[in-house]
Amino acid sequence: MDYDKKRVLFEKLRNFFNDHNHDKKSEKDSEIFITLYRQFLDEDAHIDWSSWKHISDDVQKNASDIPQFDPKREDVINKVVVLKLNGGLGTTMGCSEAKSFIEVRDGLSFLDFAIAQHNDFNRKYNANVPLYLLNSFYTNKATEEKLKAKDAKGIFTFEQSRCPRIYKDTLLPVDDSEWGDDAWYPPGHGNIFESLVNTGTLDKLLSEGKEIIFVSNIDNTGATLNLSIAQFMIDHDLDYIMECTKKTSNDIKGGTLIEINGQLMHLEMPQVPPENLDDFCSTRVFKIFNTNNIWVNLKAVKQRMPGIKSEIIVNHKKVRGKDVIQLETSIGGCIKNFRKAYCMHVDRERFRPVKRVEDLVVMSSNLFKVNDDHTLQLRGHHIPAINLGVFYSKIDLKESRMPHIPDLLEANSFTVIGDVSFGKNVKIKGDVVVENTKSQQVKIEDNTILNNERKVFA
């Protein structure tokens, strides 16, 4: 793009913000977006594929090989704070409110599990580790109301930035006089560092003697506070740790770690040249991926801000029938700002996200049990491959068709094609496909056992 066109775009962008900046937060948010916008216009979205290498051995470690936490190390507990990323809505599963409000099992939501796990940890260690929630403008008010209703103690919230969506064709902000909140978006979890600074939360935590912040997605119930990792980070004076786990065919879109010019870099799909996407998705080329369980040294953040940057993620969306762009960053992408960064290989049990209704069915089923500390433990040896089809694409569709989750303990794979509902005490064994080619719904009756079969209703 030539200089004159960029100049015109920036002039119109600044005019937009002059009309929309009404307080200090909106002014700071506009500065953040202008920085993202400049990156978007000036930087190549794709990496030079010939420039990367696999990460070297001296920046990675298996969590099973590090020293176990020493219970006498109260200094470790006193320096740690937990943060859950709570900015997202459950829209991909048909939920219009905060994703953290979705019920997982036993009447408990993701938010309930996060609070319960945190309280159990503090009781176990007689500690007062604080729990923070990074909310977005979508989730902030409703989350604070939930916390007040629950009379939750030792839990704090702060709100990340709000940025304007831009039209794909004009690259100018969407008119919020017509779209309201749909004209805006939270700019990804890479915004955590600016939000920590702009809300005063970073200085507050440092003044309280906190040095290590453990960040994870609130829908990942496996992301509990691991004091062995915290101890390792403190003892080795590290700035940043990314937990990674083995990549499977279910994780082909997940980010991974590479090295470019001797520096760790988080590589995500939008940064991959189109001709190299097959390599990126391959479990042969890339064997690990980012769980988004991230540990960061708060002193290092203080030293590096406001200079912490991440590659732009250009997120294309269709909103109200219009093609729009969201400019985002990720907390994983910020790893390149920290000299003493590490990759920690962890077991799959620390990565239990819920992205689809099928994931929710798995977590709600008898494949898992809830331990006394509110961690979810897998009962069997593996999680079956489950595909329930379009009639289960939203939570309300699942609730009406599968009010009782089938027994999946002996299942290897379970596929539903067409409109099928399930009664009570249904059991799935081995590889099962249920297909309905009729236009009207069919039902698998109570107490049915489906064992290594393809059941077709035609």
pLDDT for residue 175 = 87
The rounded percent of the chain whose pLDDT value lies above 90 is: 92
Q: Which of 17-31, 53-67, 204-218 is predicted least confidently? A: 17-31
Report the distance separating Cα 416 and Cα 357, nearest Å: 13
Is the model's pLDDT at 1 over the cut of 90? no
Whether residue 25 lies in the annotated active site: no
Question: Which tens digits make up the pLDDT trace of 96-128?
Answer: 899 999 999 999 999 999 999 999 999 999 999
Report the distance separating Cα 265 and Cα 260, nearest Å: 7
Summarize the annotated binding site for substrate as residue ranges.
189
Average of pLDDT values for 431-452? 98
pLDDT tier, 253 (very low <50, low <70, confident <90, very high otherwise): confident
Is the model's pLDDT at 153 over the cut of 90? no
Domain boundaries, the chain: 3-350, 357-457
Report the distance separating Cα 156 and Cα 133, nearest Å: 6
Question: Which tens digits make up the pLDDT trace of 43-98?
Answer: 888 999 999 999 999 999 999 999 999 999 999 999 999 999 999 999 999 998 99
**Computed from CA positions of residues 42, 46, 51, 52, in that sequence, does the dihedral angle turn out positive or negative?**
positive
Fold of 357-457: UDP N-Acetylglucosamine Acyltransferase; domain 1 (2.160.10)
Averaged pLDDT score across all residues of the chain:
96
pLDDT tier, 152 (very low <50, low <70, confident <90, very high otherwise): confident
pLDDT for residue 449 = 98
Is the model's pLDDT at 2 over the cut of 90? no
Chain centroid offset of residue 10 CA: 31
pLDDT tier, 225 (very low <50, low <70, confident <90, very high otherwise): very high
Average of pLDDT values for 291-312? 96
pTM of the predicted structure, to 2 decimals: 0.95
CATH of domain 3-350: 3.90.550.10
pLDDT for residue 381 = 82
The rounded percent of the chain whose pLDDT value lies above 70 is: 100
How many CB atoms lie under 10 A from the CB of residue 42? Answer: 10
Residue with tokens 């762009």: 325
First CA to last CA distance, the chain: 57
Which of the residues 355, 429, 443, 455 is marked catalytic? 355
Report the distance separating Cα 61 and Cα 293, nearest Å: 15
Q: Residue 120, class by beta-carbon neighbours within 10 Å (0-12 exposed, 13-18 middle, 19+ buried)? A: middle
Summarize the annotated binding site for UTP as residue ranges.
99, 160, 188, 219, 355
Summarize the annotated binding site as residue ranges.
99, 160, 188-189, 219, 355
Report the distance separating Cα 234 and Cα 415, nearest Å: 46
pLDDT tier, 6 (very low <50, low <70, confident <90, very high otherwise): very high
Tell me how far CA of residue 245 lies from CA of 130, 293, 346, in angstroms: 27, 10, 5
